[in-house]
Structure 1
Amino acid sequence: MVREVDIEAFAAARVRGALVLDVREAFEFAAGHVPGARWIPLGMLAGSLAELPRDRAVMVICASGSRSRIGAELLGRAGFDAASVLGGTAGWSLSGRDLAT
């Protein structure tokens, strides 16, 4: 089962040093993303596991939460401490937080 976190829990995990992993497509990431997020599109995630840290939590984010659930599940099966961000980047922005471009 995939662990999911709301925007407030995500923001707190981010402050504590969790890796923010954005799994959207390039054009989506370029249009606006959580500051400091690392970008690996969902389709490339399975082949990029060796590039990710195993010593901290990974918060997986997409546009609204669908792709991030898939990404968090993949990471969890590979032994990562991963969670999907409910509401995604849209929820982050709607909560009044800034996006980077």
Structure 2
Amino acid sequence: MTPRLPLLLIAAGFVIWASAFTLLYAGLSLGCVAGWQSELIAGVTLLRAVLLAIWFAHLAALGTLLIYCVRLGRRSADRTFGFLRRAAIGSTMAAIAATVWTGAVIPAATPCL
């Protein structure tokens, strides 16, 4: 295996985080303008449901990426590949923490003021 794949995977987690951050911000802005905070679905506002769906979808993508990185070429004898694989795992875990932190306020705060 070439070291290029884990090298790309090092950045992949934060690309997913950036997508989550952007879509959450856009969803919040669009939802506030469209009045989604006053529409209820099963006791939850439509805006909060959309934001939670965006957040959970990105967390699921990051979880899948982490599993992929962990399973990627475990038995490779190439030391460079092993280092890059471990760096990709660490970077993905940091991206998961950043995504959790970014969306943690969704269930608690009032979306639109």
Q: TM-score, normalised by structure 1?
A: 0.29
Give the helix-richer structure, 1 or 2.
Answer: 2
Give the strand-richer structure, 1 or 2.
Answer: 1
